[in-house]
Structure 1
Amino acid sequence: MALRIPIKARIARTVGTVQHAAYHDYVRCATPGGLIRLPLISPNVIGVANSRGNRGHQEDFYAFATLSLNPEELRISVKKAHGINWDHTKLGDQFARQAVFIGIYDGHGGSAVSQYLRQELHGLFESVDKTMVPETYAWVKEIGGYFKRHRGGVLAPWINGTENTPELDLEARATEAFFQVDRNLSSDPVAQKCGATASVAILHTLDDPPVPFFAAEQVALTVAHVGDTRVLLCSTNGGKVFPMTENHHADARIESARLRRMMGSGLITDSFGESRWMGALANTRSLGDLQFKKFGVTPEPEVRTKLIQGKEWAYMVLVSDGVSSILSDNEVVDLARLGKNPKDAADRILSFAQDLGGGDNATALVVPLAGWGKIQGPDKTKALREYRFEQSVGSERQRRM
Structure 2
Amino acid sequence: MSQRLSPLSLSCNSLRVQCRRSVLPPFASTTPIAYYHDYIRFQTSGGVSRIPLLNPKLIGLVNSRGNRAYQQDFYGFATLLLEPHELQYTLRTKLDYEWDPSGLPDFIARQVHFIGLYDGHGGSTASQFCRQEFHALFENAHPNHIPELYEWIKEIGGYFSKRLRPRPFLPWLQDPNSKAVFDLEARATTAFFEVDRSLSGEKEARVSGATASIALLQTLDKPAPPFFAAENLALTVAHVGDTTATICSTDGTVTPMTTKHHAETPIESTRLRRVMGSALVTDSFGEARWMGVLENTRSLGDFKYKPFGVTPEPEVRAKLLKGSECSHIVLTSDGISSLVSHEEVNDLVRFAPTPAEGAKRVLSFAESIGSEDNATVIVIPLLGWGKSQGRDTTKELRKYKQNQAVGRRRM
1:32 aligned partner = 45
1:321 aligned partner = 334
1:108 deviation in Å? 0.4
Task: Return the match for 2:209 from 186, 190, 195.
Answer: 195
Cα separation, 2, equivalents of 1:3 and 1:156:
48
Task: Return the match for 2:226 from 185, 208, 212.
Answer: 212
Question: TM (normalized to structure 1)?
Answer: 0.92
1:4 deviation in Å? 4.7
Task: Return the match for 2:360 from 306, 326, 347.
Answer: 347
1:352 deviation in Å? 0.9
Q: Which amino acid aligns with 1:297?
A: V
Q: Mean alpha-carbon deviation: is it higher for 381-390 or for 279-288? A: 381-390
**Deviations, residues 8-43 of structure 1 (Å, cap 9, x unaligned):** xxxxxxxxxx9xxx9621111111222221222223
Cα separation, 2, equivalents of 1:379 and 1:331:
9
> In the alignment, is the contact (CA less than 8 A) between 2:262 and 2:268 conserved in 1?
yes
> In the alignment, is the contact (CA less than 8 A) between 1:3 and 1:44 conserved in 2?
no
Q: Mean alpha-carbon deviation: is it higher for 310-319 or for 151-160? A: 151-160
1:374 deviation in Å? 1.1
2:325 aligned partner = 312
Q: Mean alpha-carbon deviation: is it higher for 192-201 or for 82-91? A: 82-91
1:120 aligned partner = 133
1:89 deviation in Å? 2.1
Counterparts in 2 of 1:49 and 1:6: CA distance versus 1, 3 Å? closer
> In the alignment, is the contact (CA less than 8 A) between 1:337 and 1:345 conserved in 2?
yes
Cα separation, 2, equivalents of 1:363 and 1:393:
23
Cα separation, 2, equivalents of 1:71 and 1:3:
33
1:94 aligned partner = 107
2:75 aligned partner = 62
Matched position secondary structure for 1:120: helix
Q: Which amino acid aligns with 1:207?
A: D
Structure 1: which 5+ runs fail to align? 8-17
Question: TM (normalized to structure 2)?
Answer: 0.90
1:391 deviation in Å? 2.8
Task: Return the match for 1:258 from 246, 271, 286.
Answer: 271
1:71 deviation in Å? 1.0
1:369 deviation in Å? 1.0
Structure 2: which 5+ runs fail to align? 8-21, 23-34
Matched position secondary structure for 1:250: coil
Cα separation, 1, equivalents of 2:2 and 2:349:
15
1:358 deviation in Å? 0.8
1:188 deviation in Å? 1.5
**Deviations, residues 215-241 of structure 1 (Å, cap 9, x unaligned):** 11111100000000001111112x111
Cα separation, 2, equivalents of 1:268 and 1:46:
40
Cα separation, 2, equivalents of 1:103 and 1:306:
17
Q: Which amino acid aligns with 2:262?
A: H
1:181 aligned partner = 195
Task: Return the match for 2:249 from 219, 235, 244.
Answer: 235
Is structure 2 residue 81 aligned with structure 1 residue 81? no
Q: Which amino acid aligns with 1:328?
A: S
What is the 5 A alignment of 1:319-398? 319-396=332-409, 398=410
1:150 deviation in Å? 2.7
1:370 deviation in Å? 1.3
Q: Which amino acid aligns with 1:227?
A: G
**Deviations, residues 71-121 of structure 1 (Å, cap 9, x unaligned):** 111111111111112111221211000000011010001001000001110
Cα separation, 2, equivalents of 1:56 and 1:6:
32
Matched position secondary structure for 1:89: coil
> In the alignment, is the contact (CA less than 8 A) between 1:60 and 1:106 conserved in 2?
yes
> In the alignment, is the contact (CA less than 8 A) between 2:5 and 2:355 conserved in 1?
no
Q: Percent identity?
A: 56
Cα separation, 1, equivalents of 2:153 and 2:166:
9
Counterparts in 2 of 1:272 and 1:6: CA distance versus 1, 3 Å? closer
Cα separation, 1, equivalents of 2:392 and 2:166:
45
1:3 deviation in Å? 5.8
Q: Mean alpha-carbon deviation: is it higher for 289-298 or for 385-394? A: 385-394
Q: Which amino acid aligns with 1:152?
A: P
Cα separation, 1, equivalents of 2:337 and 2:101:
38
Is structure 2 residue 224 aligned with structure 1 residue 224? no
Is structure 2 residue 283 aligned with structure 1 residue 288? no
1:310 deviation in Å? 3.3
Cα separation, 1, equivalents of 2:126 and 2:312:
13
Cα separation, 1, equivalents of 2:107 and 2:3:
25
**Deviations, residues 221-265 of structure 1 (Å, cap 9, x unaligned):** 00000000001111112x111100000000000000000111111
> In the alignment, is the contact (CA less than 8 A) between 2:241 and 2:297 conserved in 1?
yes
- Could you say what the CA RMSD is over the residues aligned between the two structures, in angstroms? 1.7
**Deviations, residues 322-364 of structure 1 (Å, cap 9, x unaligned):** 0011111110111011221111111111111111111110000
Cα separation, 1, equivalents of 2:3 and 2:363:
21
1:13 aligned partner = none
Counterparts in 2 of 1:88 and 1:257: CA distance versus 1, 3 Å? same
Q: Which amino acid aligns with 1:36?
A: S
Is structure 2 residue 316 aligned with structure 1 residue 303? yes
Cα separation, 2, equivalents of 1:146 and 1:45:
43
Cα separation, 2, equivalents of 1:185 and 1:335:
37
